[in-house]
Chains A and B, each alone.
Chain A
Amino acid sequence: MLRKEVQVERPSRWDVPLDDQLTSALVDRMLQIPPFSRMDADRFPASCPLRGILQNDTRIVSCKPGDLIVREGDYGNSAFMLITGTVVVTLDPLPAELIGRPKQQRWRKFIKLLRHLRRPRFAEVRQAIHDATTRLGQRHNGAQTQLFLQDVPGILNRHRTLQIRPGEFFGEIAALARTQRTASVIATHPAQLLEIRWQGLRDLMKYAPKLRQHIEELYRQNSLSTHLRQTPLFAQLDKAQLKRVCEATQFETFGNFEWNQPYQKLQQASINERIAAEPMIAEEGNTPNGLILIRNGFARRSEACGVSHRTVSYLGKGQAFGLEELYHQWKTGEAASLRHSLRAVGYVDVLRIPTDLVEQLVFQRMPAAERTKLEKATENWQRAPANNIATSVAKPHQASCAELPTSMLEFIVDQRLMNGTQTMVIHLDRCTRCDDCVRACSDAHDNNPRFVRDGVVFNRQMFASACMHCTDPVCMIGCPTGAIARDESSGAIVIQDLTCIGCSTCANSCPYQAIRMVPIRDGKGQLIVDEQVQSPLLKATKCDLCNDLLGGPVCQRACPHDALARIDLTKPDELAQWIAR
């Protein structure tokens, strides 16, 4: 019998380098300059050498005066180090129009509304292809698209800036924590930068402790206090106390940053296998080692049940784990073990705050109402033991999970639906399949609906294939023009049609298949094609929560049977309340 197999080399991490034009000579040159010259190459393992990281995870970016290297509000997956030249970081937010994100006036929305009265005969008709009003320029450099600002001296005169010195890093926090860039960085003179993708930066931090300390220090100085201040537990602390917490906080990272790819593969595995594959952050039965705060991503809170684990709830950004146990310890003086395990779902960044600080600064200053809540919760431990299968399936596990049963929570976690802040949920027992929602969406969006009334179904609820406006919008990573961005006022992820160049990066990145590439037409219904290659011009389309219309998402307003709602699944109680109407 013939053996039908083909032998190939196993794919490896650096098969596709960030820049295949990067020469060994350039890498040698980089190894001569700080901070790489100060790194001990022997600390790097053979599988991940320092030279390999520089060769494969970095590229040299040459900028001209006016180039916008980092734009505030964008999501990025790389950090930069200045090699030569001058770049500045803006300390004040730049006007939205200047960086290509015009804010829509209310009267403009009204005009747009009137325009809908005249329904176009064809789908996806565009009156303009390029944005003639933008003050942001685009320059194509091979496969790369570089944005540049006009009138840089004027901008520098009107806004406070800080010059970045050669050897300094920027953009590392947003790249590592997958948060929005908080400031813009502009080249004022010709500059050369080293761009490092997050995978490389992560390894550099792992094997070069000084770099890790440096980046963690930067985060501690610039962002941690803001993050803690937004967390209700630490909101009442004064500056000095907050500083103490910041200094003692430890940073930990679990899971895979590019969670969207393994998640799709893991769908084939059983629920037990999937839970077992998730990296453990804290294990049930262990003594709590500080308070865990979720900085980014999601974590599954589970309890042992038979040979597997049962999902109790999921935690997102700003939520704490181990608080009840620590409180019990502090109050009674008895050692308490963790009642649940915490596992990373995809990728999670956590902050660990030492127990003694939580006791001194949080519990002692906690308002009486909060204390009563915690006391009640710990009292309930005795009444409803963690391993009681009947109570945990039928009754709520915690106040935030209202009535959602374990199976529903597990479904939401497994499908990564807890990422959605505006998930379209359809109650199938009320939905008459009339498609009024689809028709309304089509009427509001160029005769082409921005969602499909189809999707995963669980417990008579359909989670439709519509953009969920995720808390962790992986679609925004890698957009070359920043066309896809979060609208500051509504929080919706919106695509600027005139800025979109149709590269499909966002559509390929979206793990929920909520972005579709569509060919565009002119007013006569003719396809608009690229004059060079004669292929149709594509635009990325997705639900924009009817951002340019008055009154909110039309799909929800159009449903006559109260069957459709946009629900924030980062808070499971919202879904529970909606189901229990």
Chain B
Amino acid sequence: MSSFRIRRYRNSLGTATLLLCFVAYLSWCQQHLIDTRLDTGYLLYGCVIVLLAFHWRKRLSFLPLGKASTWMQFHIYTGLAALPIYLAHAGFQLPQGRLELVLSSLFTLTFVSGIVGLYVTRTYPQRLTNASQQVLFDQIPAAQHLVAQQARQLVLQLVQEPGTTTLARFYQERLHTYFEQPRGWRFTLRPGIQTRRALMSQLTSIQRYFSAREQVAGDQMFQLIRQKDDLDYQQALQTILRGWLYLHISLSYSLFVVGAVHGALALNFAGGAQ
């Protein structure tokens, strides 16, 4: 069994045990008619602080505060455990009042973004590795620009000769936008090869009109279309890999602030209305 699998089983078992203890405590309180809302609130807000501490640890990476991967494991399992704690705190009811609605929405969004992040960070790297080349995120725009320039040059060289306009016309009608413009948010969210396949199929179907020189240029154009698509694919995946984290962190800090307000109000009125 791989060490990662062993770790997963160990951490899941540990979290499940702690949650069982938590459930046992809740049922004991229920039997003794003890109000647990403050206890669960403290616990939940404590979880939020612990979860945010991972971000602070990242900022202070030069301090000997342990491995980030250990923190990550703690972050994942604390995050997962936060859901039942939240449900217990909210009394398994929908929120009432504006502040509670905002707070529960923030919690839900933060939790969901965390789950999405977990999925993305576990699956996207493999997809990125499968791509033909590994390009640094910052260097992708420059690489895209270079490919677009090469495609333009290829066509410009071609049109200088008489009777070689078919590829140029196709470039103008279909390929120019493909090379020069970004792919849009739909592609970013669900990158696929449909556009590349369609363009290649169209290029293949017009190949019979090509002159001998255009045939050679056409082969190069196939390469460039593939290169551009690979770069767009890398950019889309890396944008998601970075973007979800920004969203998750923003939501976490919002939750931290709104949670503090909620806590202050709850403590202030803990004794009931005067």
Contact = CB atoms under 8 A, between A and B. Distances in A.
Interface of A: 113, 116-117, 428-436, 439-440, 443-444, 453-454, 457, 460, 462, 546, 549-551, 554, 556-563, 580-581
B142 to A, nearest CB: 14
A561 B120 CA distance: 12
Given A453-B136, A457-B134, A557 B61 contact: yes
Contacts of A436: 58, 61, 68
Given A453-B136, A560-B68, A561-B72, A433 B62 contact: no
Contacts, number: 81
Interface in B236-263: 238, 241-242, 245
A323 to B, nearest CB: 33
Contacts of B2: 580-581
Interface in B51-109: 58, 60-64, 66-69, 71-72
Contact of A116 (B62, B67, B121): B62
A241 B64 CA distance: 49
B62 A554 contact: yes
Nearest to B54: A560
Contacts of A561: 69, 72, 121, 125
A452 to B, nearest CB: 8
Contacts of B72: 560-561
B269 interface: no
B4 to A, nearest CB: 6
Given A431-B125, A454-B134, A581 B4 contact: yes
Contacts of A444: 61-62
5 contacts: A428-B134, A439-B61, A558-B58, A560-B68, A562-B4
B194 interface: no
A429 B4 CA distance: 14
B222 interface: no
Nearest to B136: A454
Interface of B: 2-4, 58, 60-64, 66-69, 71-72, 120-121, 124-126, 128-129, 134, 136-137, 238, 241-242, 245
Nearest to B127: A429
Chain A contact surface mostly: loop
Contacts of A429: 125-126, 129
B69 A549 contact: no
Contact of A554 (B61, B69, B125, B245): B61
A557 B125 contact: no
B51 to A, nearest CB: 13
B124 A432 contact: yes
A259 B3 CA distance: 39
Contacts of A439: 61
Contact of B61 (A428, A443, A462, A562): A443
Contact of B62 (A113, A431, A453, A457): A113
A113 B62 CA distance: 7
Contacts of A580: 2
A546 B66 CA distance: 15
Given A428-B128, A443-B62, A460-B129, A560 B69 contact: yes
Contact of B125 (A430, A435, A453, A556): A430
Nearest to B137: A433
A440 B64 contact: no
Given A433-B128, A433-B238, A560-B71, 18 more contacts: A113-B62, A113-B63, A428-B134, A429-B126, A432-B121, A432-B124, A432-B125, A433-B241, A436-B58, A453-B136, A546-B62, A550-B64, A554-B62, A557-B68, A560-B72, A561-B125, A580-B2, A581-B2
A559 B134 contact: no
Contacts of B120: 432
B69 A562 contact: yes
A389 to B, nearest CB: 27
Contacts of B68: 436, 557-560
Contacts of A454: 134, 136
Contacts of B69: 559-562
A438 B58 CA distance: 12
Most buried by A among B2, B64, B136: B64
